[in-house]
Amino acid sequence: MKYNFTDIMTVGEASIRWNISPVSVKHLCTGIQGRPPRLTKEECRKSGRSWLVTRQGMERLYGPEEK
């Protein structure tokens, strides 16, 4: 799948755009308390020390971002 440049963001940016905590977004990628991640490998990945998420993954879980 091809993404626009603005469709991929850091956990911090996603947390601001969807008004949720950065830790909550990171847990979408890593899972928490033995539960599997809620974002798929196509929606989230680690790049160096930063987690990246897609707009499509965030919208699937939280709906469209508020403008």
Tens of pLDDT, residues 3-21: 888 899 999 999 999 999 9
**pLDDT tier at 67, thresholds 50, 70, 90:** confident
- pLDDT in the model for residue 42: 94
CA dist 59 and 49 (Å) reads 24
Mean pLDDT in the chain? Answer: 94
- pLDDT in the model for residue 37: 96
